[in-house]
Chains A and B, each alone.
Chain A
Amino acid sequence: MTSLYAWGAVACIVATSTAGDVLLSRGMKQVGDFGEVRRRSGVLTLIQRVLQNSNFLFGVLAMAIAFYSLLFGLSWGDVSLVVPASTSLTFVTNAIAARFFLHERVDQRRWVAALLVAGGVILLAF
């Protein structure tokens, strides 16, 4: 039963951290290249545009939920299961989500990179 809770926490971490990354990425693209915005309108305008972006705010909220899910997951399961499983699965789900929600061109090169990093993260746990 504890294992089921731990895997439930992993699923929650993966879903919310993927949502957080996708929302943050979309929000930052809406704000525009930080360097350009800063040169054109100044740092204060840049900070204001970031803080007023709803995707950024929801992204941070999703990341906060992911963090608390991680804390709960660590209390139910081993760190050697929860951390590598959630981190490596997030690399894969991010690639899928970026393809469909951010319309990024996830080619063979990026898939290989995501899978290599995901595999590497799993090995780091042992």
Chain B
Amino acid sequence: MTFRRYLVLFGVSVFAATGDSLLSRGMKQIGGVSIHHLQSIILMVLNPTVALGIVFLLAFFACYMTSLSWADLTYVLPATSVSYILLTLLAKFYLHETISVSRWCGVLLISAGVGFVTQGPALTHKPRHAESTECLAGTVSPRTQS
């Protein structure tokens, strides 16, 4: 695993947590939205906080797809659950929510899970398609070194 790849995994966590927090704040600014008023559902993306939240969630999806191109799903999901920890911290310090003891215990469990999975290899199964393209290109994938 290179530093750049850790940065992509960190990007998945940061963009997801920030995007969700911005959406939460934006939707509270808008107030109640009814499914019977489609116009209000379309117009809510014009709220700057909601729009910024959507931009962050698009960045999350790009980082998520990038990480899945070189790491196992069972590695990426627990490794990027740092976002739940960040989300709890953002809820406390940005949204000023009260965090209970059990939520802090949840954060500790997630941290332990992240610590467990990041000690192991990122990729355990090399896809056939990737192997064939590498052979054609005559290059050695950095994935084999991770």
Contacts and interface: CB of A to CB of B under 8 A. Distances in A.
Chain A CB within 10 Å, residue with most, of B64, B78, B127, B142: B78
A95 B78 CA distance: 10
Contacts, number: 140
Given A33-B69, A123-B102, A98 B74 contact: yes
A123 B124 contact: no
Contact of A117 (B68, B69, B70, B114): B114
Chain B CB within 10 Å, residue with most, of A22, A25, A94, A106: A25
A117 to B, nearest CB: 4
Interface residues of B, number: 45
Contact of B73 (A33, A36, A104, A116): A104
Contacts of A115: 113
Interface of B: 4, 64-66, 68-70, 72-78, 81, 84, 88, 100, 102-103, 105-110, 112-114, 116-117, 119-120, 124-125, 127, 129-130, 133-134, 137, 139, 141-143
A18 B131 CA distance: 26
Interface residues of A, number: 43
30 contacts: A21-B73, A24-B65, A25-B68, A25-B72, A25-B73, A28-B69, A29-B69, A30-B129, A30-B130, A32-B130, A33-B69, A33-B70, A33-B130, A36-B134, A36-B141, A40-B137, A56-B65, A94-B74, A99-B74, A109-B119, A112-B116, A116-B112, A116-B116, A117-B110, A120-B106, A120-B113, A122-B106, A123-B103, A123-B106, A123-B109
Given A114-B77, A116-B113, A32 B106 contact: no
Interface string A98-126: 11001111110110111111011111101
A106 B74 contact: yes
Contacts of A117: 77-78, 81, 84, 109-110, 113-114
B73 A113 contact: no
